[in-house]
Amino acid sequence: MGYPYPSHPKETPVLSKHFGEVEARTFDGWVARGGYEALKKALAMTPEEIVAEVKASGLRGRGGAGFPTGMKWSFMPKDDGKPHYLCCNADESEPGTFKDREIIRWTPHALIEGCAIGCLGIRAETCYIYIRGEFTEPWHILVAAVAEAYAKGALGENAFGSGRRIDIVVHRGAGAYICGEETALMNSIEGRRGNPRVKPPFPAVAGLFGMPTTINNVETLAAVPVILTRGSAWYAGLSLSSPKSTGSKLFSVCGHVQRPGTYEITMGLPMRELIYDMCGGMLPGRTLKAVIPGGSSVPIMNAADIEDCPMDYEGIVAHGSMLGSGGMIVMDDTTDMVYQVMRLARFYADESCAQCTNCREGTAWTTKILERILAGEGKPTDLDLLLSLADNMTGKTICVLSDSCAVPVVSGLQKFRGEFEAYLSGATAPVTAGV
Amino acid sequence: MTVEMVSVTIDGVTVQVPKGSNVIEAAERAGVVVPHYCYHPSLPSPAVCRMCLVEVEKAPKLLPACVTQVTEGQVVHVHSEKAIKARAGVLEFLLINHPLDCPICDQSGECELQDFQFQEGQQKTRFTDFAKRYNPVEDFGHDILYVPNRCILCTRCVRFMGSVAEEPVLEVYERGDRAYIGLDQSQRLDHEWAGNVVDLCPVGSLLSKDFLHKARVWDLDKAASICPGCTQGCNMTIDTRDEVVVRLRPRPNLEVNRHFICDTGRADYRWMNRGDRVEAPLVLDSDRIRATDWDLALDRLAVLAAEAGPVVVLAGGRASCESLGWTMRLVAGRSVVAAMQVPQGEEVPLAAVPNLALRADRAANLHGARLLGYRADWSSAMGEVAAASLVIVLDAELTDADAALVAAAPQVIQLATVTDPRLHDAQLVLPITSMAEEQGVYVNRDLRAQRYLPARSAPGMARPAWWVASQGWALGAEGRSAPATAAEAFAALDAFDGLSYRDLGLTGRVLATATAGVAS
């Protein structure tokens, strides 16, 4: 369902099937909808069987990188005698992304069940759900659901009487975007400053508290129970395009469309159908100018780019951007691209953890130049300077926040250079208010 | 233990380095300096400054040399076009908010930001028309100022306090380009080893108040020395400006003090600049003290030393092995009780460095003295003073009670840097150099013999105590010849088994037969 709107016929409601149903938030309501069958099934399986099933489904990380989930789980060591941890990344802070929020708000038990199965798959007993600090309502709902799952015996030292221990700890973030980066998230849980760590060592070797750790996105884990109940073959069959992109995917669409919301589609659906059919197209009298398809860290697409673009990992890359987190920002012809790029850069400048020189200084400097251009005080050399800074910020830091700041600058300049030049030449009046 | 070696090629030079080394260390072995800020050999590497990015063949991206481990057959290009461009970009970023107030900055001249900027940076900034970040200077502790405007956030200070001193009072506060190093509100940076953050700071952001605006570093003369403060024997450098000692800094020695010294040792240099020194030999003639020349004074010394009767030697804790040994030889053949004065203090370890502490025994050469026959403890030696016919005071600082006992002895010889008015009846006062003005050897608590070099010239006619004693000894009998140099004076000491200055080098050597070969 394109929550909060009624479900569209072209949607594939798998994870979003019960969005809007208040009873689904309760343990009994979730069980009545077929919930916790997958966990019971998983409790009778070996870790290898669980990992094999997830591998066969073709499920890939829904947080942005798209790494195959089963393969990630298989990296966890066996018989190493150390405690293992599962981290669920619910620090959904990418501008334009709000799909995990809906999962936690409406189907918290889907996430809990997915976390529990994940624990079994990677031989962990404890899962930490790191939830974004600003998610007040989802946090309350999740905490209540976890408490109920404990009370009903689904979690705890004897999950469903299996003799297996599964604990879930909900850890609330304090409002830093960078804590959504997996190693910064682990530092934050440990009580340290949320700075990304140098890799290697990778989390599967030394992650949370120095122990082997797997970290998965909310949507990834929420999809696991369905894969177990309906089978990996069914899930792998959900694809309209590339066999490498399977299953259903939530897209949170915001911006200048008639019906912004969270839509669940089968991988490979044409982007045009999502925007023009499901979301009802652009606002009356407006035309589409630009789309950021996967959260603010992916390249901006223009109207030509989205023609024939299928919504899957490979398809969007082939059309010049990335699927990312599935946070889609649609912009119409009234949008000032220079302003939008500046706002994105400012976001990254604000959120840079300040560790790496290139990011700390580069994001702030980039923002200053963009602000200057908007104020009508840009210099003729500014556009080349922006590209040069973007080059100095790309591929040179510990995490990709720096790269993410450079991405909208580079793609914005590539596709909408004329708008920047109009500010420089004075053809566009300077923005003086609301900057 | 055999260490597995791997072969790596860095800028065309192939070197063998132990497996597990990082590229920056391997490059050093190949004679290539990889510019760096956050990396420090005595701290964990966070790879945050991004200054040490190098090109490694087969790696898709530039890699930070400080955390990239070497692998067999690895080919690294530190000075490839791509790597140089990346580092120039980092330098540009580091400088956009840096005040460039080098003319008034204490770090200027020993600043790594200056060095690498001159080496690899761009001539002009592109950060024009914007104001630089500004934060006021903060007082961090008893000797430390923080100038945030100059800070490049390498976090060496944060990691030193957190991982080495294990008192995590510093942390990066705020995010993005607003970030700065902050001190925990309820804390002061007054840990015994905190002063090291000033040395660790690659720029002029953490400053010593004691050294503030005292001298330009390019005007300083530097001498390799050993801290005379306790039995740890930390290696240090004495910095002088026109013969005046202006600061002490740690000198790296991975076996003794790594890159650190304690604040007590660091601050204890003012005595080196004392102006009230004995500058000429003083002899007692008919109850009158008069200044004389060395010829007369040494004759008197030889005569006094050759007499019969028990001798007590009272040495200060900074006396060199050469001085201690030759003073003993001067009175050889007589009944001698010798002791070294060892002030006591609290032991303060540097938490994460094994076997490094400010020691309770606050005498640098206590263990050297033991090797050379200074065995008795101070109070028992003082007990012998009353029965002694000769007391030799070798630059010891006596209490009033001790001074009264010594003054009552029939004959007193002072080998002194400053006169002691309580010993006005001493037969001889012989001006000697302080450890800052001579070369010599100290033996630390691990029986490591370490050399120190002169940092300033001696005042007036002052001579090293070993020279004075050996000259007096040579005059005592026919056919004796005194050592001409400190090296000869050391080599002649039986306790060191023929070790020479050359053997010791400037990082010292642990005495193999130290316990067995004590000369009595």
Q: Would you say A389 and A377 are in contact if contact means Cβ atoms under 8 Å apart?
A: no
Amino acid residing at A242: S
User: Does A353 sit within 8 Å of B177, measured CB to CB?
Assistant: no
Comparing C-alpha atoms, which of A62, A96, A65, A11 is closest to residue A300? A96
Instruction: Output the 3-class SS for B80-114.
Output: CHHHHHHHHHHHHHHHHCCCCCHHHCCCCCCCHHH
The reported pLDDT for the residue numbered A5 is: 79
Q: pLDDT, tens digit, for every residue of A69-126? A: 999 999 999 999 999 999 999 999 999 999 999 999 999 999 999 999 999 999 999 9
Cα A344 to chain centroid distance, Å, stands at: 17
* Residue A249 contacts residue A264 (beta carbons within 8 Å): yes
Distance (Å, whole) CA B395 – CA B131: 58
Check A362 against B130: CB less than 8 A apart.
Answer: no
Pairing of strands B206-208, B144-146: antiparallel
Sign of CA dihedral B326, B330, B332, B337: negative
DSSP B68: P
Cβ count within 10 A of residue A183 = 23
* Beta carbons of A395 and B62 less than 8 Å apart: yes
Q: What is the pTM of this model?
A: 0.94
The first and second tokens of residue B336, run together, are: 């001698």
Q: With contact defined as beta carbons under 8 Å apart, do A302 and A290 qualify?
A: yes
CA A101 to chain centre: 10
DSSP letter for B258, please.
B
**Helix (H) / strand (E) containing B300:** helix B294-306
Closest CA relative to residue B364, chosen from B456, B199, B229: B229
**Nearest residue on chain B to A381, alpha-carbon basis:** B126
How far away is chain A from the Cα of B94, in angstroms, using its nearest Cα? 7
Interface with chain B: mutation pick from A188, A350, A356, A371, highest number of B CBs within 10 Å: A356
Residues B313/B363/B469/B224 CA torsion (nearest 10 deg)? 180
Phi, psi of B407, deg, nearest 5 = -60, -25
Q: Which of B153, B199, B207, B208 is nearest to B180 (CA)?
A: B153
Residues 6+ apart with CB under 8 A from A105: A137, A138, A141
pLDDT digits (tens, 9 = 90+) for A194-246: 999 999 999 999 999 999 999 999 999 999 999 999 999 999 999 998 889 99
Above 60 in pLDDT, residue A1? no
Give the whole-angstrom CA distance, residue B448 versus residue B511: 6
CB B242 within 8 A of CB B254: no
A398: chain B residues, CB-CB within 8 Å:
47-48
DSSP state of B164: I
Tell me how far apart the alpha carbons of residues B362 and B372 are, in angstroms, rounded to a whole number.
18
Q: Return d(Cα B486, Cα B467) in angstroms, integer.
A: 8
Task: Note the pLDDT of residue B1.
Answer: 63
Residues of A within an 8 Å Cβ radius of B: 176, 178, 193, 198, 349-358, 360-365, 368, 372, 381, 385, 388, 391-392, 395-398
The residue among B487, B233, B494 whose CA lies nearest residue B372 is: B494
- The structure tokens listed for A125 are 């007993």
**How far, in Å, CA of B448 to CA of A148, rounded?**
67
Mutant choice from A181, A198, A361 vs B, greatest count of B C-beta within 10 A: A361
Nearest to B175 among A353, A356, A362 (CB): A353
What stretch of H or E contains B419? none
- Cβ(B150)–Cβ(B105) below 8 Å: yes
Q: How far is CA B356 from the centre of its chain?
A: 14
Residue in A with minimal Cα distance to B68? A200
Q: In B170-270, which residue ranges form alpha helices assigned H by DSSP?
A: 196-200, 263-267
Would the CB atoms of B90 and A362 count as touching at under 8 Å? no
Spatial separation of the C-alpha atoms in residues B88 and A362, rounded to whole Å: 13
Given an 8 Å threshold on Cβ–Cβ distance, is A365 in contact with B96? yes
- Facing residue for A362 by CB, picked from B61, B93, B179: B93
User: What is the mean pLDDT of the segment spanning A26-33?
Assistant: 97
Beta-strand relationship, A126-131 and A85-90: parallel
Count of CB pairs separated by less than 8 Å, A with B: 91
Nearest-CB residue to B177 (from A360, A396, A397): A360
Q: How many CB atoms lie within 10 A of CB A355?
A: 29
Across the interface, do A350 and B97 touch by the CB < 8 Å criterion? no
Tell if the CB–CB gap between B126 and A385 is shorter than 8 Å.
yes
Cα separation, B382 vs B467, whole angstroms: 26
Question: Which residue is it, tokens 């997958």?
Answer: A38
Residue A63 has a pLDDT of 93
Orientation angle between helical segments B400-407 and B378-385, nearest 10 degrees: 30
A397 to chain B, minimum CA–CA distance in Å? 7
> pLDDT, tens digit, for every residue of A306-361?
999 999 999 999 999 999 999 999 999 999 999 999 999 999 999 999 999 999 99
Cβ distance of A364 and B94 shorter than 8 Å? no
- Whole-number Å distance between alpha carbons of B169 and B183: 6
Q: Up-side HSE of residue B360: CA atoms within 13 Å toward CB?
A: 2
Q: Chain B residues with CB-CB distance to A under 8 A? A: 45-51, 53, 61-62, 64, 67, 86, 89-90, 92-94, 96-97, 126-127, 129-130, 152-153, 155, 171-172, 174-179
Of B46, B130, B178, the CB nearest to A368: B130
Residue A306 has a pLDDT of 95
Residues of chain B positioned with their CB less than 8 A from the CB of A368: 130
Q: Residue A292 and residue A298: Cα distance in Å, rounded?
A: 7
Helical spans, DSSP H, in B121-236: 156-159, 196-200
3-state secondary structure chain A: CCECCCCCCCCCCCCCCCCCCHHHHCHHHHHHCCCCHHHHHHHCCCHHHHHHHHHHHCCECCCCCCCEHHHHHHCCCCCCCCCCEEEEEECCCCCCCCHHHHHHHHCHHHHHHHHHHHHHHCCCCEEEEEECCCCHHHHHHHHHHHHHHHHCCCCECCHHHCCCCEEEEEEECCCCHHHHCHHHHHHHHCCCCCCCCCCCCCCCCCCHHHCCEEEEEHHHHHHHHHHHHHCHHHHHHCCCCCCCCCCEEEEEEEECECCCEEEEEECCCEHHHHHHHHCCCECCCCCEEEEEECECCCCCEEHHHHCCCECCHHHHHHCCCCCCCCEEEEEECCCCHHHHHHHHHHHHHHHCCCCCHHHHHHHHHHHHHHHHHHCCCCCCCHHHHHHHHHHHHCCCCCCCHHHHHHHHHHHHHHHHHHHHHHHHHCCCCCCCCCC
CB-CB neighbors (< 8 A) of A360 in chain B? 93, 153, 176-177, 179
Set of chain B residues whose Cβ sits within 8 Å of the Cβ of A365 = 93, 96, 127, 130, 177
Q: How confident is chain B (520 residues) per 10-residue block, as mean pLDDT?
A: 90 96 96 97 96 96 97 97 97 96 96 96 90 95 95 98 97 96 93 97 98 97 98 98 97 97 97 96 92 97 96 97 98 96 96 97 97 92 96 97 96 96 94 98 97 97 98 96 97 94 96 54
pLDDT for A186 beyond 80: yes
User: CA angle, corner B82, sides to A396 and A344, nearest 5?
Assistant: 35
Q: Using CA coordinates, name the residue in chain A closest to B152.
A: A357
The torsion angles phi and psi of B205, rounded to 5 degrees, stand at -90, -40
Is residue B273 within a helix (H) or strand (E), and if so which, with residue range? Answer: none
Q: Which residue of chain A is at minimal alpha-carbon distance from B155?
A: A355
Look at residue A2 in the predicted model and tell me its pLDDT: 59
Residues from chain A that touch B94, judged by Cβ atoms under 8 A, are: 357, 361
B171 closest CB neighbour out of A176, A193, A361: A193
B268 close to B434: Cβ distance less than 8 angstroms: no
- The whole-angstrom separation of Cα B3 and Cα B22 is 15
Which residue of A lies nearest to B168 if distances are taken between CA atoms?
A: A192
Q: Which of B45, B51, B91, B126 to mutate to test the interface with A (most CBs of A within 10 A)?
A: B126
Distances (CA, A) of B358 to B193, B489, B509: 9, 30, 20
pLDDT tens digit sequence for A259-284: 999 999 999 999 999 999 999 999 99
- At residue B2, the pLDDT reads 80
pLDDT tier, A432 (very low <50, low <70, confident <90, very high otherwise)? confident
Residue A361 to residue B51, Cβ atoms within 8 A:
no
Nearest-by-CA chain B residue for A178:
B175
* pLDDT at position B229: 97
Contact in structure between A34 and A226 (CB atoms under 8 Å): no
Subunit contact B48:A193, Cβ cutoff 8 A: no
Q: What is the pLDDT of residue B512?
A: 80
Q: What's the ipTM?
A: 0.94
Determine the Cα–Cα distance for residues A112 and A159; give it in Å rounded to an integer. Answer: 12
What confidence score (pLDDT) does residue B478 get?
93
Give the per-residue pLDDT at B100. 94
**How far, in whole angstroms, is CA A152 from its chain's centroid?**
30
Q: Which chain B residue shows the shortest CA-CA distance from A354?
A: B176
Using an 8 Å CB-CB cutoff, list chain B residues near A358: 50, 89-90, 93
Answer whether A180's CB lies under 8 Å from A138's CB. Answer: no
